[in-house]
Structure 1
Amino acid sequence: MKQRIITAVIALAIFIPILIMGGFWIDFAAAALAYVGISEVYIMRKRIIVSFDFILTTLGVMALTVPITFYKGWLPSSISRLDILYIFSILLLLWTVFSKNKFNFEDAGVSIVSMAYIGTGFHYLAAIRNVNGTDFYGFKLLIFALLIVWITDSGAYFVGRAIGKHKLFPYISPNKTWEGSIGGTVIAVIIATIYAMYFLPNIDFTYIIIISIIASIAGQLGDLVESAYKRFYRVKDSGKILPGHGGILDRFDSMLIVLPLLHLFGLV
């Protein structure tokens, strides 16, 4: 527990100033987190992280993470993030040929999905913070998303411990319960809605409630997705970069699902 607290304090001392500054700093942080995240996928799969396919996948996830304006001046102005995903997907598929199937179609599939999942999630970590708007709108919106994720997680833990009896997905995550899941969502929606009333007053009240409910559920599903692939690869944590907390994917599993949702809901 002591180690977890120390790691959390140090991480927040680094992360919060970056969130406040935004701009280049959050773009750089998002790209760095994406690099570590994709490395964790390769390590879980027991694949070499100095291989050509790792280099391609890393370039792909970084290209998906950084703002599209990064390519302005040296790529066609019409290029989109979907185009970038397609280009790197084709390159990985071509490598199955040139590697003589030492890197095969299934390997390419995992790399492509990982690129899309990690790259898109961390892209919106920076994109939300850097969204144009007055009165620190992007920062407030990002805190709104983080609140939903963190409060859902904490609420589900304490409610589940207190009254949890019915297992949610016992094979994937044996400690999670329906009572904890519902309780976490209710608490998160209440607190996130109160926060939005004061800090995001321009967003419709009913819409905030709907978004909070969906984001809370999506965050829990993101957690379960990570539990599923960790169980598949037979690892306890995605990595060891955060002593007492595991890896980057362990800490950002819910946010990788929730942050792009804010874009889908038209808030970014």
Structure 2
Amino acid sequence: MSIIKVKTKLDEYKHRAYSSDINELSGRTNRSDITFFVNNEISKRMDFKPDDVLVDIGCGDGTLLEIAENKGSSCIGILPSEEEVTRVRERFLTKPDLINIEQGLASKTDLPDEVADKVVCNGVFLLLDEEDVNLALKEISRITKPNSLVYIGELCFRDETEGKNYGDSILKWLMWVLLNQGTGEFLSRCKQTLRALFTTEQMLILPKNHYYCTPEEFISRAKSYGLNINEHFPHKSISSNNEVIVSASRQDYIFIKV
């Protein structure tokens, strides 16, 4: 049995690095289609060009890095744990000069000042605490060239745990999925649970808290670190039927470094 309760987000992604499916590093179990869709949307907005230096903080399985590299950009992916770095470096063994994977945090990348033409940090800020949000904004501003774009995505503007009263109970969680996400997602999660029970494939019971703030608050906070808002919009994903879903709780932001 491989059902594991993790206490922190860092521990969660250390465990995900050992999954047979590298897409687990995106946090989207069995949904690599969502990972590609989300990163393709980011690519359209950021318009990666030859000779751009992209820094992707929390680069997950490296999908965005591969998209940008195919457009001629040089890419640096930042991941917090040695386990994640090792796993994603293995993916890009044939492109070591074009895609570099380094260990670091949103709050401390250890990159030089003003190294990046484009910075992306998607699905990371909701994992931070209040203090680290400020440190991450300061760090992102530091590594970004003046007049360059910064994409911060999937930041919640309300508490997504509201109404999720299943705690650490797998049975209650499955019933919540059935009632709130439908039969298809319920059956998928049942299969995931059975694989964890009867194979070595792991399943994680995760921390329930996350960071969230209103767009007005986040835009004001970013501005104090030299990041002026260019545009913001609801985050988009896709259903299992390939239909576009507009998030009711998450916002994406594009800033310009002044």
- Kindly name which structure, 1 or 2, has the bigger radius of gyration based on alpha carbons: 1
Q: Which has the higher strand share?
A: 2
Indicate whether the TM-score tops 0.5.
no
Give the TM-score, by structure 1 length. 0.30
Give the TM-score, by structure 2 length. 0.31
